[in-house]
Structure 1
């Protein structure tokens, strides 16, 4: 099938990011678009995906844009037939363009995702959380402020259509 949706990127500073949402709700908003497959084995399923993601991060009034290919491999459980699903798994990333690249960011990276989905026939809606693994950090804030680590994490709201 195909999938797409919106994602909100956070830089790991939850209270600062929550305050910024009230000031500018479209700040750090991005999108994703791609393909997925789903293999059912009873109530358990495997869902490999491949999609393009566009992220924006604002750090001290500097906007950094990131474009990457993401390939999560999710294992899930269908509940109430297949109406509701929960899922989790690793996510692999290849960076096409990255405003952070000047600061020694790797082209390949990995993280994890988990979430919940609602399935209505051929249509699906899911909400998921993604975070880069701990070993995949750079000290981008040190460049601007001299404080803390930067780790991509995002909330993703996606709509999917099964073929």
Structure 2
């Protein structure tokens, strides 16, 4: 029993030491709530948030209380466009807009609280995205930008090798002239491999 306790203690100390290393590499994934608003578009008068997902890999460079975290992610986001109600009593037509993108965020973070097993942190940074919005032709002849810049701000919690992040993302530029910059709330869970 003492040997088992000793082995367990050594393993836990090893995990804690790996979590504090100057370089962490890991994987993450999560869900998002996304919304795209419309401007001067006669075929759509409103929008609702849709659910999406994200998977990817990250690298965290720890610089004391500060850190730099670039990542490469694939995200699938949805937003629901509501059309004009055809007649009284009839339902409004809806179109689900799907946005598949590859994202490269580069976050700069600050650790606010550093306990032996948990770290509370905040982060902010830009994100470059390349992708295409599907089902856009159903709204009309819209020329879209295939690459966009956005910004993210959020809070995260690390418990040993697990990471939990909640962030708000806002586009800096429009997807198209008729589509305003997208917004989303993201919830991710990650695992530090190194």
Candidates 29, 34, 48, aligned match of 2:51: 29
Q: How many residues align?
A: 144
TM, length-normalised to structure 1: 0.81
1:106–1:138 Cα change, 3 Å:
closer
* Corresponding position of 1:55: 77
Alignment of 1:73-84 (within 5 A): 73-81=106-114, 83-84=119-120
Tell me how far 1:5 sits from its aligned partner: 0.1
Alignment of 1:12-27 (within 5 A): 12=37
- After superposition, the C-alpha distances for 1:114-152 in whole angstroms (9 at most, x for unaligned) are 10001100001010000110x435343xxxxxxxx5221
Please give the root-mean-square deviation of Cα atoms over the aligned residues, in Å: 2.0
Query: Please, which runs of 5 or more residues in structure 1 have no aligned partner?
Result: 21-26, 141-148
TM, length-normalised to structure 2: 0.68
Candidates 170, 177, 182, aligned match of 1:152: 182
Query: Please, which runs of 5 or more residues in structure 2 have no aligned partner?
Result: 1-25, 39-45, 83-93
- The question of 1:41 aligning with 2:63 is answered yes
Highest CA radius of gyration, 1 or 2? 2
Separation (CA, whole Å) in 2 of partners of 1:119 and 1:74: 15
Q: Match of 1:28, SS?
A: strand
